[in-house]
Structure 1
Amino acid sequence: MAETVHPFYAQHRDAIEAAMRQRLTLAEPMLRERAHLTDIDGFRREVMDEFAIVLPQMPYVGGAASRMSEVFMRLTGFMATSRVLRRHGVPLADIRDIERETHKAQLLTVPEAERLAAGDQFMSPENQTLLREQAAKSVTASHQAECPEDFVYDFVEPGPNDSFEFGINYRACGFCKFAGRHGDKEILPNICGLDFDAYATRGIRLQRTQTLAGGASHCNFRFSRLQRED
């Protein structure tokens, strides 16, 4: 019996697929140079076929009410690309570089003013309040029962000697759960590496010294603003 796509993701499928096609176009030079692929059109078809498998596997983490839904929709497509690259025998290090460079290139297609405005919104007191609320909700038994594949995290206030503005400790990761269930653990660290450019292109410095995917007890995200040129 074929798996069904959650209605929330089905609603956004066209946008997710359009973003994936854009990434594949941006990735073409590296696919030729690093992955040594020649049939790029065939590779595209393989990736989109794999995405049709990945999409119904995507766990529901709260839909529009959860900030993590956007993260899943933005990054889970990389699982499809990485699976196909692995089947083509591409080393994990090359997959990491291909994914990260194309992710960054895609992020930079958004005008700088728009990216920086999004970064300001993320760092704003209002958003920090929302993050505190969602962090508190993520640990509740009722939310974990409703969305068992969701992230579980704590909001971290800076201490007197800290240089970051705020932090998040992820104690359970939706991507780790996804990867463990579907055999993607070896490519998971490459997905984690995409976070740095996602924040840097919005004017935010991410510091992180450990991850759940790397065997730590939690992922320690710490956020501060990057200095901007006048």
Structure 2
Amino acid sequence: MTESIHPFYDAHRASMEAAMRHRLDLAEPLLRERMQLPDIDEIRHEVMDEFAVVLTQMPYVGGTASRMSDFFMRLIGFMAISRVLRRRGLPLAVIGDIERETYKAQLLTVPAAERLAAGHQFMSAENQALLREQAAKSVTSSHQSEFPQDFVYDVVEPGPGDTFEFGINYTACGFCKFAARHGDKEILPSICGLDFDAYATRGIRLERTQTLAGGATHCDFRFSLLAPK
């Protein structure tokens, strides 16, 4: 039986596929250089075919009611890229470099004022209140029963001597769960590596010393605003 895409993701499929095609356009010079190919048309088709598979595997974690739905929609496509490049024999470190450079280039296509405004909104008191609300919900047994593939996390307040404005400890990661279910554990660090540019391009410093993917008990995200250049 053919697996289907959850209706929430199906409603966003066109925009997600467009983002993937744009991502591959940006990745083309790197892929041609690293793989010594005259063009990447075959890889492009392979990635889009794999992305169609990934779309059927994406876990539903609450749609617009959950901030983590956006994380899945923005980043899960890199699983498709990683799978194809891994099958093509590229080393994991090279795959990670290609994906980080590509994602950064894609993020920088958004005007700086818009990116910085999004960063300030993320760091705002209003958003921190929302994070605390959703974090409190994520740890409940009822939420974990309804959305077992979701993230579980706590908001961390700075203590004396801390330099961050607030933090998040992820004690369960949706991408780790996805990777464990679908045999993607070895490519998971490439996905983790995308976080730093994702925040830096919005004017936010992310400090992180450990990850669940690396075997730690939790991912320790710590956020502060970067000084204006």
Interval of TM-score (by shorter of Structure 1 and Structure 2):
over 0.9
* 1:109 match: 109
What aligned pairs does 1:34-113 form with structure 2 within 5 A after superposition?
34-113=34-113
CA distance in 2, matches of 1:21, 1:101: 16
* 2:189 match: 189
Residue 184 of structure 1, CA deviation? 0.3
- TM-score w.r.t. the length of structure 1 is 0.98
CA distance in 1, matches of 2:39, 2:28: 10
Give structure 1 regions of 4+ aligned residues with deviation exceeding 6 angstroms.
none
SS in 1 for 2:105: helix
Cα pair 1:166 1:222 within 8 Å, conserved: yes
In structure 2, the gaps of 5 or more residues are: none
Identity %: 78
CA deviations 1:96-153 (Å, max 9, x no partner) are 0100000000000000000000000000000000000000000001111111000000
- TM-score w.r.t. the length of structure 2 is 0.99
What aligned pairs does 1:1-230 form with structure 2 within 5 A after superposition?
1-229=1-229
In structure 1, the gaps of 5 or more residues are: none
Cα pair 1:151 1:174 within 8 Å, conserved: yes
Aligned residue type for 1:120: H
Cα pair 1:149 1:174 within 8 Å, conserved: yes
**What is the alpha-carbon root mean square deviation over aligned residues?**
0.7
Cα pair 1:119 1:204 within 8 Å, conserved: yes
Cα pair 1:24 1:44 within 8 Å, conserved: yes
Residue 42 of structure 1, CA deviation? 1.1
Aligned residue type for 2:36: H
Residue 35 of structure 1, CA deviation? 2.6
Instruction: Report the number of matched residues.
Output: 229
Residue 61 of structure 1, CA deviation? 1.0
CA distance in 2, matches of 1:11, 1:60: 13
CA distance in 2, matches of 1:100, 1:209: 18
Cα pair 1:35 1:94 within 8 Å, conserved: no
CA deviations 1:7-63 (Å, max 9, x no partner) are 100000000000000010000010011132334111110000001111010011110
CA deviations 1:160-217 (Å, max 9, x no partner) are 1100000000000000000000000000001000000000000000000000000000
